[in-house]
């Protein structure tokens, strides 16, 4: 056996060394875990400059989280799938750990930021634990109002958009009205809506629906109007009826434009939702924010803002999932 064959056999039998990228991600996981452990130690051992609750609970939770990250960095090779998923987020986890350390030091420990405008992290934990029933009630009220208004506006905007793209007679009468009313901010209709509708709840549904309906109508109209006329010619040659052309040709071809309008309408409707809850509807996260600000409970206000952000992000994620399911044939250029 030659020297080259011996070296080849040895190289085949030797265990594969981890790549530089794997080592870097493992080091990031260990560093992220160390940052969260430091945060836990600071929270537990350093006395607060003020009276804040739920510090020990937060210290135990973040300490366990930091220890799990360190274990994932050290022993991730035994669970490659789980380790790969965790290490994907380790740069963010490291950055968040450092931010939380700075946040804790400048608020609860050194009192460098004015109070009560900048509460520490465990003050938000206290809100979630102690005031969760009221916060959950506000979340349910906001989701109910948002979904009712958004669905009403989406359906109305879709029907108007299809009619505008298909019928010239309908467009002759409706298009000028849309150009007059559509670009106007829906909040400007707030005094009239609260007077015209029997309740502030129904008025808020109208305002959210108006905010959603305009972009959906315009983008649906654009999608229907931009369908290649050759599609209609082929369908008519095969004996397609008018209903078939609308429901099987025009609408499926316009769906990408429809979802763009839905995304635009959903994003704009959140602003109207919060304003309506602050101005007239005595329920929801907007009302909770106004109540917290009135009592100078800024920890409650930040907790409500965090929940509102998660709610909005979750609804947009659901809409993206629906788009990916209905438009599986189309390569999605924008991901959420």
CATH of the domain at 319: 1.10.3720.10
Q: Can you give the pLDDT at residue 93? A: 92
| Closest alpha carbon to 225 in 263, 197, 253, 248 | 253
Residues 244 and 274 in one domain: yes
Residues 221 and 250 in one domain: yes
Number of domains the chain is built from: 2
* Parent domain of 136: 132-326
**Domain contains 41:** yes
Token digits of residue 191: 């005094």
Question: Higher confidence at residue 19 or residue 238?
Answer: 238
**Domain contains 10:** no
pLDDT, mean of residues 166-185:
87
Confidence class for position 10, pLDDT limits 50, 70, 90 = very low
Which of 61, 82, 115 is the last residue in one of the domains? 115
Per residue in 236-264, pLDDT (tens digit) is 888 888 888 888 888 888 888 999 999 99
Confidence class for position 282, pLDDT limits 50, 70, 90 = confident
**Domain contains 123:** no
With a cut of 60, say whether residue 280 has pLDDT above it: yes
Q: Can you give the pLDDT at residue 278? A: 84
Residues 103 and 215 in one domain: no
Q: How many CB atoms lie within 10 A of CB 204?
A: 28
Burial 46-68 (b: 16+ CB within 10 A, else e): eebeeebebbeebbeebbebbee
Residues 43 and 180 in one domain: no
Per residue in 44-83, pLDDT (tens digit) is 999 988 788 888 999 999 999 999 888 888 876 666 776 6
Residues 260 and 294 in one domain: yes
Residues 139 and 109 in one domain: no
Question: 150 to each of 125, 174, 320, how far by Cα in Å?
Answer: 31, 21, 15
Burial 120-157 (b: 16+ CB within 10 A, else e): bbbbbbbbbeebeeebeebbebbbebbebbbebbbebb
Per residue in 75-130, pLDDT (tens digit) is 766 667 766 777 778 889 999 999 999 999 999 999 898 888 999 999 999 999 99
User: How far apart are the C-alpha atoms of 105 and 111, rounded to whole Å?
Assistant: 8
**Domain contains 289:** yes
Residues 102 and 143 in one domain: no
**Domain contains 122:** no
**Domain contains 275:** yes
User: How far apart are the C-alpha atoms of 132 and 254, rounded to whole Å?
Assistant: 43
């Amino acid at each position: 056996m030659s020297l080259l064959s011996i070296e080849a056999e040895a190289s085949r039998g030797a265990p594969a060394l981890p790549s530089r990228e794997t080592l870097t991600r493992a080091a990031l996981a260990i560093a992220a875990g160390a940052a969260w452990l430091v945060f836990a130690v600071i929270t537990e051992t350093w006395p607060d400059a003020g009276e804040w609750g739920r510090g020990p609970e937060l210290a135990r939770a973040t300490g366990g989280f930091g220890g799990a990250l360190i274990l994932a960095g050290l022993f991730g090779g035994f669970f490659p799938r789980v380790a790969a998923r965790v290490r994907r987020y380790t740069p963010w986890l490291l950055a968040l750990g450092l931010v939380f350390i700075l946040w804790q030091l400048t608020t609860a420990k050194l009192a460098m930021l004015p109070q009560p405008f900048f509460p520490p992290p465990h003050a938000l934990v206290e809100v979630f634990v102690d005031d969760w029933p009221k916060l959950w009630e506000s979340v349910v009220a906001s989701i109910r109002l948002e979904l009712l208004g958004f669905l009403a506006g989406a359906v109305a905007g879709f029907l108007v958009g299809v009619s505008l793209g298909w019928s010239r007679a309908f467009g002759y009468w409706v298009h000028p009205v849309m150009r007059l009313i559509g670009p106007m901010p829906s909040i400007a209709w707030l005094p009239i809506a609260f007077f015209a509708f029997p309740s502030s709840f129904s008025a808020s549904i109208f305002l959210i629906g108006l905010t959603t309906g305009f972009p959906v109508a315009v983008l649906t109209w654009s999608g229907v109007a931009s369908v290649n006329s050759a599609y209609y010619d082929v369908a008519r040659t095969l004996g397609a009826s008018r209903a078939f052309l609308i429901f099987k040709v025009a609408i499926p071809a316009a769906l990408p434009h429809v979802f763009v309008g839905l995304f635009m309408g959903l994003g704009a409707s959140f602003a109207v939702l919060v304003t309506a809850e602050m101005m007239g509807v005595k329920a929801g996260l907007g009302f909770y924010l106004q109540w917290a600000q009135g009592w100078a409970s800024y920890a409650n206000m930040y907790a409500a803002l965090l929940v509102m952000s998660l709610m909005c992000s979750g609804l947009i994620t659901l809409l993206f999932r629906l788009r990916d399911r209905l438009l599986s044939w189309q390569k999605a250029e924008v991901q959420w």
